Chains A and B, each alone.
Chain A
Amino acid sequence: MATTTIDRATGVKEAIAACCDGALLSATQPSPDTLQFAIEKTVMRAIVASLVDNFEARFLISVGTDKRPITGDFAVSHVFSLDHDHLYVLLESPVSEKDPRIDSITEVIPGADWAEREFRDAIGVHPDGHPDPRRLLLADDWPEGVFPLRKDVPYNYQPPRAENVRPQMREPPAGASVLPIGPFFPVLEEPAYWRMFVEGETVVGCDTRIFYNHRGIEKLGESALTYNEIPYLAERICGICGFIHSTCYCQAVEKAAGIDVPRRAKYIRTIMLELERIHSHLLWLGIAGHIIGFDTVLMQIWRIREPVMWLCEEISGNRKTYGMNTVGGLRRDLPDQIKPKLLETLAAVEKEAIAVRNAIVGDTTLQARTKGVGPLTHEWAKKICAVGPPARASGVAIDARIDHPYAAYDEVPPRIATQEAGDTWARVLVRVAELLESIRLVREALLALPQSPIRAEIKEDIPPGRVGVSVVEAPRGEAIHIVLTGGHNRPYRWRVRAPTYPNLQALSAMVAGANIADVPITLGSLDPCFSCTERLETVDPRTRKVRVYSRGELLEISRSRTRGGGAR
């Protein structure tokens, strides 16, 4: 197995190097599953096109890096996954500071749209020929000409306040009116702004402005934190799939530094990742029910979900944001005495999940609201580079756990659930199947859990200039972390891509021609990700006294409520 992978990697490497011809600057293999090519920027578009045509390369993300302190140039790399060959391919071009432009690849790969706008905003390299070069990442009042990920911009830079700025939005086509969804809307748990262009009740187009929640996490990781502090920040990228982000980051650093993680840690990571998928999918099913007005589904499914949260709390000390990951393994072991309880809870959740599945599958009204709604065609899913359940529900059988096995998935492989229809109903079915599959995976991983230390000892400093690409299959699709190591015990560049990023780009095609009533569930069927707050303030209306609850007090209150000790 190992030798064939290496053979294949060598073969692909030679083949790609051959198509680069004279424009190839260097070809390296930073880790067994990653190939890196440096090429002239003039041939970037052509090589990307041939990668897509000849190697079935799937675009993941672009990374813009300010390498001026090292090489004197900016660098733009496009990252691809060769799913069948289990390889990542990085195509990197130097872009000189005097002419900060590079040919856009969005024409070749529609899914590269946001990625290119993002590196333009972040480091100021303009994608030439981009069809929609509006601002994406930066706030509307951020000054022109300041690119936050350039190394000469400090992480705590505060631009002057600007007045009267508005997002640049497209005008509706003639005869259509605008129905705003957001920035705050009942079914959006985080700010995001869609302008639906509607004729009567029919959507004829839409425009989006998002990134209201941009928190500058990458910049913080590159300039203020150290390798071992970042996992806790990474875990806070998302309120639901936190463990996925911290695992993904740790794996990227481990790969870059060549650290071998002990088997037990890999198994426990697998268990926690799958527990996260279980509670995330249950959360989603509930919310999907709520979106179409089926609150009974919401309430019952969240009741089923609750024991999983208690389990996580018992394992890690927290319902969410476990803080278990560290570079090289884990900080906290899975105690053996929790095994019986874990299995018992899983059995209970499985029984109820099956009951829910049977109820859902037989519900004709539910099907009336989801069948044929929000269609994502197989072709467009591939072109827009959709990931996760939306991709699998459109017949694109990709899953990072199979394509790029990490943690213990090489020994407990999942069975991928796919559907062909590409509508919301198909996405429901895929997620329900994944939910049951995850329960099986946790059980298998638990039975096969080996005895070993849980953390590798790291004696030497992590050398600079190494690249690590890591992908983790989150409940919503694949999360990607790319780390370029640097000095001062921190990454030189840390790139994060959440799964909602490509999936949201598919939305405009999915709602075209839809009824307004179907827009929320179509959006919801992508399971867009949202963050949580961790502190709360109350004001007594009579005394006007402000009381700030501490974390401990909040924890106490919520525990007493959920366990039936408090209310009534």
Chain B
Amino acid sequence: MTLWLIKTSLFCLLNVMIALFLSPLCEGIMRKLRAALHSRFGPPITQPYWDLLKLLGKEDLRSTGGIVYALMPAATLASVLLLAALVPMGVAAPLAFAGDFIVVLYVATMSSVLIMLIGFASASPYASIGSSREMMMLLSVEPILAVALCVGAFKAKTLALVGIVNWQEQNGPSISMAIAGVAFFLALQAVAGKLPFDIAEADQEIMGGPLVEQSGPRLALIRWAMWAKQLVLAFLLVEVFFPWPHFGTGLDLVATLVKVLMVLVLVMLIDVVNPRLRIDQAMGYFMRVGVSSLAALAFAVIGK
């Protein structure tokens, strides 16, 4: 029992460490890539670490009081780290026993809801507009994530994420899982807040939306949470939908990392070649994606 506890804690720690300390590096690589496509030199790959360090060392300015406003940034990061422990990242999810993919979805939603609450608590018109946009995005994207994972659950005949991953690994590619994977990827673009879906932040329109009143350590925690979240969700996408090829424990971790990087590079490429959509256009787009992801369910039902 004690051994099991130690082992689980260690794996939790590993996942949390990956999410915390690898995510700024991924962000750095994405920035460098964007700069290359812009014909710029771009910042060094390690710049996001320095950004965090600098922001964490700054004065904590608060536009309003209130416990919601005070605790949100830390809670946001905490929710993402919890998500990291629930998602398989190269090895099986350490907290898999705690719940099935529905719990994962809930925890994944938490950070968005918390950022929304920060916006509403900031007493700024830009933040309110940003938060209501965030809510609309959440409502359009969340069903897609759910449907995509449902397809897996349907095929594997289990709600547990471990079961879905194992089934997918053993049974190889199928039409339904491929469609669901693509839908999940498109939703990831929005969850990561990348163009054309960075609508809730929209610097040029509402000056960062929910984050307009955040600065210093508070901004650092929120940014960190967002980077970690895009990394963890990329892991989830790779593990659930594209787990092959299988090499054996050590190499698996490396292979997964490479695949995750490829996903993030793809996210960045889409970001670079698109302008920002309007919220109504984005919602219409995800409505269509949602409807097509239902096709995946249909394929799953007929066993494809």
Chain A positions within 8 Å of B, measured between CB atoms, are 177-180, 185-187, 200-201, 289-297, 299-300, 303, 365-366, 368-369, 515-520, 567-568
Task: Flag if B276 contacts A293 (CB, 8 Å).
Answer: yes
Query: Known: A177-B125, A300-B38. Is A365-B274 also a contact (CB below 8 A)?
Result: yes
Within 189-246 of B, Cβ neighbours of A (below 8 Å) are at 195-196, 198-199, 202-207
Residue of B207, B275, B280 near A294 (CB, 8 A) is: B275
Residue of A177, A292, A297, A365 near B204 (CB, 8 A) is: A292
- Bound Cα distance A517, B195 (Å): 14
Q: How far is the CB of A256 from chain B (nearest CB, A)?
A: 44
Contact with A along B264-302 (1 / 0, CB 8 A): 000000001111111111000000000000000000000
Q: How far is the CB of A565 from chain B (nearest CB, A)?
A: 13
A368 proximity list for chain B (CB < 8 A): 277-278, 281
B37 CB–A CB distance under 8 Å = yes
Residue of A nearest to B125 (CB): A179
- Bound Cα distance A515, B279 (Å): 9
B2 CB–A CB distance under 8 Å = no
Residue of B nearest to A373 (CB): B278
- Bound Cα distance A295, B34 (Å): 10
- Bound Cα distance A292, B204 (Å): 7
B196 proximity list for chain A (CB < 8 A): 293, 365
Task: Flag if A180 contacts B125 (CB, 8 Å).
Answer: yes
Task: Flag if A516 contacts B275 (CB, 8 Å).
Answer: no
Task: Flag if A517 contacts B205 (CB, 8 Å).
Answer: yes
Task: Flag if A201 contacts B276 (CB, 8 Å).
Answer: no
B74 proximity list for chain A (CB < 8 A): none
Residue of A nearest to B203 (CB): A186
Residue of A177, A185, A290 near B207 (CB, 8 A) is: A185
Q: How far is the CB of A486 from chain B (nearest CB, A)?
A: 46
B207 proximity list for chain A (CB < 8 A): 185-186
Residue of A nearest to B128 (CB): A177
Within 75-120 of B, Cβ neighbours of A (below 8 Å) are at none
Q: How far is the CB of B58 from chain A (nearest CB, A)?
A: 13
Q: Knowing that A179-B125, A516-B206 are A-B contacts, what are 5 other residue pairs whose CB atoms are under 8 Å apart, sorted by A's residue number? A: A293-B196, A293-B198, A295-B38, A517-B276, A520-B205
Query: Known: A179-B129, A299-B40, A300-B38. Is A517-B199 also a contact (CB below 8 A)?
Result: yes
Q: How far is the CB of B103 from chain A (nearest CB, A)?
A: 33
Residue of B nearest to A568 (CB): B41
B39 CB–A CB distance under 8 Å = yes
8 A-B residue pairs with CB within 8 Å: A179-B129, A186-B207, A292-B276, A293-B274, A294-B276, A299-B40, A365-B277, A568-B41
Task: Flag if B202 contacts A293 (CB, 8 Å).
Answer: yes
- Bound Cα distance A201, B204 (Å): 15
Task: Flag if A296 contacts B273 (CB, 8 Å).
Answer: yes
Residue of B nearest to A185 (CB): B207
B281 proximity list for chain A (CB < 8 A): 368
B278 proximity list for chain A (CB < 8 A): 368-369, 515, 517-518
Task: Flag if A296 contacts B204 (CB, 8 Å).
Answer: no
A297 proximity list for chain B (CB < 8 A): 275
B126 proximity list for chain A (CB < 8 A): 179
Task: Flag if B273 contacts A517 (CB, 8 Å).
Answer: no
- Bound Cα distance A47, B277 (Å): 49
- Bound Cα distance A295, B276 (Å): 10
- Bound Cα distance A295, B202 (Å): 13
Task: Flag if B205 contacts A516 (CB, 8 Å).
Answer: yes
A295 proximity list for chain B (CB < 8 A): 34, 38, 272
Q: How far is the CB of B287 from chain A (nearest CB, A)?
A: 15
Task: Flag if A369 contacts B277 (CB, 8 Å).
Answer: yes
Q: How far is the CB of A327 from chain B (nearest CB, A)?
A: 42
A180 proximity list for chain B (CB < 8 A): 125
Q: How far is the CB of A367 from chain B (nearest CB, A)?
A: 10
Task: Flag if B125 contacts A293 (CB, 8 Å).
Answer: no
Task: Flag if B129 contacts A296 (CB, 8 Å).
Answer: no
Q: How far is the CB of B201 from chain A (nearest CB, A)?
A: 10
- Bound Cα distance A518, B276 (Å): 11
Closest 5 CB pairs of A and B: A293-B276, A299-B38, A294-B275, A292-B275, A517-B278
Query: Known: A180-B125, A517-B202, A519-B205. Is A293-B39 also a contact (CB below 8 A)?
Result: no
A515 proximity list for chain B (CB < 8 A): 278-280
Q: How far is the CB of B158 from chain A (nearest CB, A)?
A: 39
B279 proximity list for chain A (CB < 8 A): 201, 515, 517
Residue of A186, A200, A369, A568 near B276 (CB, 8 A) is: A369
A366 proximity list for chain B (CB < 8 A): 275
Task: Flag if A296 contacts B202 (CB, 8 Å).
Answer: no
Residue of A nearest to B276 (CB): A293
B198 proximity list for chain A (CB < 8 A): 293
Residue of A nearest to B280 (CB): A515
Residue of B37, B125, B206 near A296 (CB, 8 A) is: B37
Q: How far is the CB of A243 from chain B (nearest CB, A)?
A: 28
- Bound Cα distance A463, B294 (Å): 83
A520 proximity list for chain B (CB < 8 A): 204-205
- Bound Cα distance A519, B279 (Å): 14
- Bound Cα distance A517, B197 (Å): 13
Task: Flag if A369 contacts B275 (CB, 8 Å).
Answer: yes
Q: How far is the CB of B299 from chain A (nearest CB, A)?
A: 28
Query: Known: A179-B125, A179-B129, A185-B207. Is A365-B41 also a contact (CB below 8 A)?
Result: no
Query: Known: A186-B204, A293-B195. Is A516-B129 also a contact (CB below 8 A)?
Result: yes
Q: How far is the CB of A511 from chain B (nearest CB, A)?
A: 13
